[in-house]
Amino acid sequence: MSDENCKHPEGAFAPVVDFSRCEAKGPCAQVCPYQVFEIRKIERSDYANLGFLSKIKNRVHGGKVSYTPNAARCRACGLCVQACPEHAIKLVKAKP
């Protein structure tokens, strides 16, 4: 992907992952040209905030989710949103 397809400067938008939907299948990390995503074990505090059914779903899918440790690199191309089969990612305007 070329930078001309990404209309926004770095950090103007950030991807937000809904952990109750995320199954850590990884297409977001595969398609992101800026290495924003990382698939890893869900943190205890995030797991604690899940509802009962979401906790079961998380365990069935290996206890992993997609995190965005490099969200500031996001250029809002939207490839991650399109690639996510669970519709667990949305792009939100970053707070100044």
CA dihedral sign, ordered 82, 65, 67, 18: positive
Q: Give me the pLDDT at residue 5, please.
A: 64
Distances (CA, A) of 64 to 2, 40, 49: 30, 5, 14
Q: What is the pLDDT along the chain (96 residues), one digit of tens a residue?
A: 445 567 788 888 999 999 999 999 999 999 999 999 999 999 999 999 999 999 999 999 999 999 999 999 999 999 999 999 999 999 999 876
Domain 3-93 has CATH 3.30.70.20: yes
Q: Report the predicted TM-score, pTM, of the whole model to 2 decimal places.
A: 0.88
The half-sphere exposure of 5 on its side-chain side, counting CA atoms within 13 A, is 8
Spans of all domains in the chain:
3-93
> 54 by DSSP, 3-state: which?
helix
